């Protein structure tokens, strides 16, 4: 998938951002979540940071999960200062490492307290093929395998907060460009990091459906969402031409985080578990002329592969 494919998906967002915002209700963003425990991955910058700050501003106890201790400590301090909420904690974890994710999950399990909201925000667009020390393609390791492992291991703690528990996974509109594929590590042809990112995000949407189906009796809501194309470090670093072309027109990180926070605040009866959301509304997961819907039947096989890779 080339940058031109992303461009074609992005163009309508110039107008959608303005039109959709007209229908936003201010009362939907005023809720308080005092004392609820929220975990946000990839929270030292961009949409993850804006999400963590927004949740902390509403009274939540927020755990920001970051790979870099230095950047994580700076983000924690900044959030505490901006919100006046001292219940912002830093957890160091490299989401691309299954060992790291398992260690992090064990620390949370040792607390033996409910987790109300898990935001799977950590994401990566690595244009060149890189392999982790555990032998996995880097984009896949962060966007899919690490996200899957984190969610699976946090389920027992989410169950403890069943009335309010929810998992929100930050995906992208780039999912519309590709079906679900079982070639998880892009071995079938010459590597394309941008296409791999879109494929990974399609897996996230299908996983969200699967988690919702598998946990209907556990009181946990599962939602994926498209934040809109925002001017974040991920986009500016990994898609510099795209970022330059659209400078001044991309969404801010706060605008990208808006629907994440909205999903965290809404009563669960108003949301559809397994749904894909964009600008505070459920959105289609497939475009009719691209015929991707049938590909989601592959998710059972993919879950089996992920379970085996994560050694759960």
Measure Cα distances from 142 to 110, 137, 138, 189, 298 in Å.
24, 9, 6, 21, 20
Rounded distance between C-alpha atoms, residue 57 and residue 80, angstroms: 9
Residue position matching structure tokens 């990566």:
124
Rounded distance between C-alpha atoms, residue 244 and residue 124, angstroms: 19
DSSP state of 272: -
Note the helical H segments in the chain. 3-10, 13-21, 46-57, 69-83, 98-111, 138-140, 147-159, 193-214, 233-238, 240-245, 253-265, 299-310
If residue 277 lies in a helix (H) or strand (E), which one and from where to where?
strand 276-278
Residue position matching structure tokens 């790291």:
100
Helix, strand or coil for residue 258? helix
Of 49, 63, 148, 197, catalytic: 197
- Residue 176: active-site member: no
Q: Which residues are the active-site residues?
A: 197
């Amino acid at each position: 998938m080339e940058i031109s494919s992303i461009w074609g998906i992005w163009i309508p967002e110039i107008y959608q951002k303005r039109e959709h915002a007209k229908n936003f209700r201010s009362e939907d963003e005023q809720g308080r979540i005092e004392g609820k425990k929220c975990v946000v991955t990839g929270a030292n910058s961009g949409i993850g940071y804006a999400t963590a700050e927004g949740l902390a501003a509403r009274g939540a106890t927020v755990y920001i999960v970051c790979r870099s201790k230095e950047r994580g400590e700076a983000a924690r301090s900044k959030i505490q200062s901006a919100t006046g909420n001292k219940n912002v904690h830093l957890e160091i974890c490299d989401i691309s490492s299954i060992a790291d994710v398992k260690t992090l999950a064990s620390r949370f399990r040792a607390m033996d307290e409910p987790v109300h909201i898990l935001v799977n925000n950590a994401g990566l667009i690595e244009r060149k093929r890189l392999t982790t020390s555990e032998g996995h393609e880097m984009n896949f390791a962060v966007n899919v395998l690490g996200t899957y492992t984190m969610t699976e291991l946090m389920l027992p703690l989410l169950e403890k907060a069943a009335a309010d528990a929810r998992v929100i996974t930050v995906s992208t509109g780039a999912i519309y460009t590709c079906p679900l594929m079982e070639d998880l590590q892009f071995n079938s042809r010459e590597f394309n990091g941008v296409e791999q990112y879109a494929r990974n995000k399609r897996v996230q949407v299908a996983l969200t459906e699967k988690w919702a189906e598998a946990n209907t009796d556990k009181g946990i809501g599962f939602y994926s969402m498209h934040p809109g194309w925002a001017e974040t470090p991920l986009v500016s670093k990994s898609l510099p031409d795209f970022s330059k072309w659209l400078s001044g027109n991309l969404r801010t990180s706060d605008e990208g985080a808006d629907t994440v926070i909205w999903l965290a605040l809404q009563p669960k009866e108003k949301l559809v578990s397994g749904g894909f959301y964009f600008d505070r509304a459920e959105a289609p997961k497939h475009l009719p002329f691209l015929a991707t819907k049938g590909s989601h039947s592959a998710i059972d096989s993919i879950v089996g592969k992920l379970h085996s890779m994560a050694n759960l």
